[in-house]
Chains A and B, each alone.
Chain A
Amino acid sequence: MPRSMPDAPTILGAAVKYLEEELMPTLAGYHRFKTRVTINALMTVKREAELRAAQAAGEAERLTALVGHDGEVEALSAELAERIRSGAVSVDDPSLRAHVRQSLADALAINNPKWMAR
């Protein structure tokens, strides 16, 4: 079956457009603040829908190289976390540092892209 249209990012974009352009100007105080938080949260979900699949593919490749076998991203990531805790991987390991840096950059590209420019 073809994917339903419009896709999720488009619908979220339309919802944000209404909240931002029509609702926000009518609000003040508490509800203005909460609506701003809500808009930001919807934008995060929109970026996740747009970016996450490609990021996860890259993350799986990096994790496979780091732990030495393939698997689901979540499981590989948990395994890497345990190896850091046990000391099996050193916190100074350059390939670990590079992986963590890329994973954080990916997550920030979804959650708060402005943070990296600060």
Chain B
Amino acid sequence: MSTGDFAARLGAVVAARIGAPGTISNLQRLTGGANKTTWSFDAEIAGRREEFIVQLSSAGAVEQPNPLADISPHITADEDARLMIAAVRAGVPAPRVRTIFEPADGLGPGYVTERVAGESLGPKIVRDEKFARARSLMTAQCGAILAAIHRIDLAEVPFLPYQDAAQLVAAQYRIADYYGLRHPAVELGLKWSAENAPKNPRRTVVHGDFRTGNFIVGENDGIRLLLDWEIAQSGDPMQDLGWVCVKTWRFGGRGAVGGFGKREDLFAAYENAGGPRVDPKQVRFWEAFGSVKWAIGCLRMGMRGIEETGIERCAIGRRIEEPLWDFLNLIEGRDE
């Protein structure tokens, strides 16, 4: 599909299902990966200019056989949209879905959401003076948003894959083995995780990538939007609280929570907003295991860097020791 065809088909969908005349302008590709591309555009709706985002799955592309596909499942574009609709209904600042594409639209799987202005770059949010006020609000906002996510009725989103802690650890072992990795620090991390995995955890919606970098932030009002719902699962709600504390996502900022807040403030805000009672030890497990998981993520990126001879992914491959170092400090009580 050429950009011209894409614009024409998108315009027709906008006019028919969002509002007439639906004239499109400023269509710009923001990011493009193997699985999906993101575009922004404006459209004239009933005499007003409105701002939108469109997500497209690469349906036309030849599906690469991926032996690891079942290990880190991505929900489909359709499910992603349905989850965001359920999240908005539960009071979560998720992207507002305006239309989901149908086969007759000729666009492949995807959807249109309302565009929200603000900053998403982690280093800017955690370090720039101009986000100081935002940072002072964000810990409480994280607590309230997480409590709302974990309240979503699972019956509304039955397509979410479920994995408990032990299954998630087993999946990481399979990835390490797939790449033939035999690395003492990774093995130490995986074994510790297998031995310390919480049993019989509560089961709720889990965003799965709740962290700085996936927030759209305003200088005076903090978190406006929570992005990237495509690896959502159901499972132990504490994993979202642990993941936002993983040191990589602090981007050099101060504060264990996302580079801006204190763990105890996050837990208090979460409980005050109606979230289930927090067991800090369990959150710590998820932060430690999250570090190991990100180390294996670096391995995967590095292997793709070798295949593609791409400098950025090669560089990420060399970041594998950062989260392993953080992991070791965490389990030895040497972290902040």
Residue A64 at the chain B interface, CB threshold 8 Å: no
Closest A-chain residue to B187, C-beta based? A84
Max chain B CB contacts within 10 Å: which of A80, A103, A104?
A104
Contact partner of B182 (CB less than 8 A), chosen from A81, A91, A108, is: A81
Q: A104 with B324: in contact, given A38-B311, A85-B191, A91-B188 (CB under 8 Å)?
A: yes
In the complex, chain A residues whose CB is within 8 Å of the CB of B322: 108, 111-112, 115
Q: Are B325 and A115 in contact (CB under 8 A)?
A: yes
User: Which residues in chain A, 78-95, are within 8 Å of chain B measured between CB atoms?
Assistant: 78, 80-82, 84-85, 87, 91
Max chain B CB contacts within 10 Å: which of A85, A101, A103, A107?
A85
Contact partner of B188 (CB less than 8 A), chosen from A38, A84, A105, A107, is: A84
Max chain A CB contacts within 10 Å: which of B182, B190, B195, B247?
B182
Q: A111 with B318: in contact, given A37-B311, A91-B195 (CB under 8 Å)?
A: yes
Q: Is the interface of A mostly helix, strand, loop or mixed?
A: helix
User: Which residues in chain B, 280-336, are within 8 Å of chain A measured between CB atoms?
Assistant: 311-312, 314-315, 318-319, 321-322, 324-325, 328, 332
Residue B278 at the chain A interface, CB threshold 8 Å: no
Closest B-chain residue to A107, C-beta based? B321
A116 to B325, CA, bound (A): 8
Q: Are A118 and B321 in contact (CB under 8 A)?
A: no
In the complex, chain B residues whose CB is within 8 Å of the CB of A108: 321-322, 325
In the complex, chain B residues whose CB is within 8 Å of the CB of A37: 311-312, 315
- Mark B245-270 against chain A: 1 for CB-CB distance below 8 A, else 0: 00100001000000000000000000
Q: Are B247 and A80 in contact (CB under 8 A)?
A: no
Residue A34 at the chain B interface, CB threshold 8 Å: yes
Q: A77 with B195: in contact, given A37-B312, A44-B318, A111-B318 (CB under 8 Å)?
A: no
A78 to B316, CA, bound (A): 22
- Mark B179-194 against chain A: 1 for CB-CB distance below 8 A, else 0: 0001111111011100
How many A residues have CB within 8 A of the partner chain?
30
In this complex, the interface size class of chain B, counting residues with CB under 8 Å from chain A, is: 20 to 34
User: Which residues in chain B, 169-225, are within 8 Å of chain A measured between CB atoms?
Assistant: 182-188, 190-192, 195
**Nearest Cβ distance between residue B113 and chain A, in whole angstroms?**
26
Q: Are A41 and B324 in contact (CB under 8 A)?
A: no
Q: Are B191 and A91 in contact (CB under 8 A)?
A: yes
Closest B-chain residue to A76, C-beta based? B184
Max chain A CB contacts within 10 Å: which of B183, B185, B188?
B188
Q: Are B311 and A77 in contact (CB under 8 A)?
A: no
A-B CB contacts (within 8 Å), total count: 73
Residue A40 at the chain B interface, CB threshold 8 Å: yes
Q: Are A82 and B182 in contact (CB under 8 A)?
A: yes
In the complex, chain A residues whose CB is within 8 Å of the CB of B190: 85
Max chain A CB contacts within 10 Å: which of B314, B315, B321?
B321
In the complex, chain B residues whose CB is within 8 Å of the CB of A118: 247, 252
Residue A96 at the chain B interface, CB threshold 8 Å: yes
- Mark A97-111 against chain B: 1 for CB-CB distance below 8 A, else 0: 101110111011001
- Return the 5 tightest CB-CB contacts between A and B, nearest first: A84-B187, A78-B182, A81-B182, A107-B321, A111-B318
Could you list 29 A-B pairs, sorted by A, with CB under 8 Å?
Answer: A34-B311, A37-B315, A38-B311, A40-B315, A41-B315, A41-B318, A77-B184, A78-B182, A81-B182, A81-B186, A82-B182, A84-B184, A84-B188, A85-B190, A87-B191, A91-B188, A91-B192, A91-B195, A97-B328, A100-B185, A100-B188, A103-B185, A105-B325, A107-B321, A108-B325, A111-B318, A112-B322, A115-B321, A115-B322
Given contacts A85-B187, A85-B191, A111-B319, 18 further A-B contacts (CB under 8 A): A34-B312, A37-B315, A41-B314, A41-B315, A77-B183, A78-B182, A80-B184, A82-B182, A84-B184, A84-B191, A85-B190, A100-B328, A101-B328, A103-B185, A112-B319, A112-B321, A115-B322, A115-B325
